[in-house]
Each structure stands twice: as structure tokens, then as C-alpha cells.
Amino acid sequence: MVIRHKYGDIYCFGGDFYTYYPKYGYVQIQLPRDMVFATIPRGAVRVRVNGHLMFRLGDVYFELGSRGYRIANYHRYPEMYGYADRY
């Protein structure tokens, strides 16, 4: 999946995020939680997680905020990513 952003596209595959550098190819990056997107990819569906409205496309969840969409915080919603912070 490709998420368009004014500073460069973000690619998501298997729950991991990547950006593309012409010299190096695709490089894995940290989850861009602070990036705000004007739009989300087509095909995203509305879902509710713990009562919160979100948009899901594949295994990526988006929250709608006052400035646009951002990728949901996986620490707050561990059931979305199969993530359990036990440490």
C-alpha cells in the first residue's frame, strides 16, 4: 500500500513502513505516527476500535484529527497490530 505525503510517499507491507531512496531502494522506517496525511488511500473502511472511529486499510489504521489523518498509535491500540508491550 502507498500513502501519499507531501514530503514523500510511505509504503506499507506486512505491518512495516518504508520510504524509497533512488540510490538505496526501499528503506524500512519507524512507524510515522506524527505524520499527518491530507487523504487516506482509497478502499479504507470505517471501523470502531474501543469505541473510537478509525479507518482501516489492510493492517494499517488511521485516525482523523483536526489537521488530517495520521496512522494510529499502536501502543494505545495493541489489538490492531498484535503488539503486546510487556516490558
87 inside domain: no
- Measure the CA–CA gap between 83 and 73, rounded to whole angstroms: 11
Burial of 68 per CB tally in 10 Å (0-12, 13-18, 19+) = middle
The number of folded domains in the chain is: 1
36 inside domain: yes
Whole-model pTM: value is: 0.65
- Measure the CA–CA gap between 80 and 21, rounded to whole angstroms: 29
47 inside domain: yes
38 inside domain: yes
86 inside domain: no
3-class secondary structure, 4: coil
Q: Check residue 74 and give its pLDDT.
A: 56
Q: Is a pLDDT exceeding 80 seen at residue 65?
A: yes
54 inside domain: yes
Reported confidence tier of residue 10, pLDDT bands at 50, 70, 90? confident
Q: Check residue 7 and give its pLDDT.
A: 78
The residue segments making up the domain with residue 30 are 2-81
27 inside domain: yes
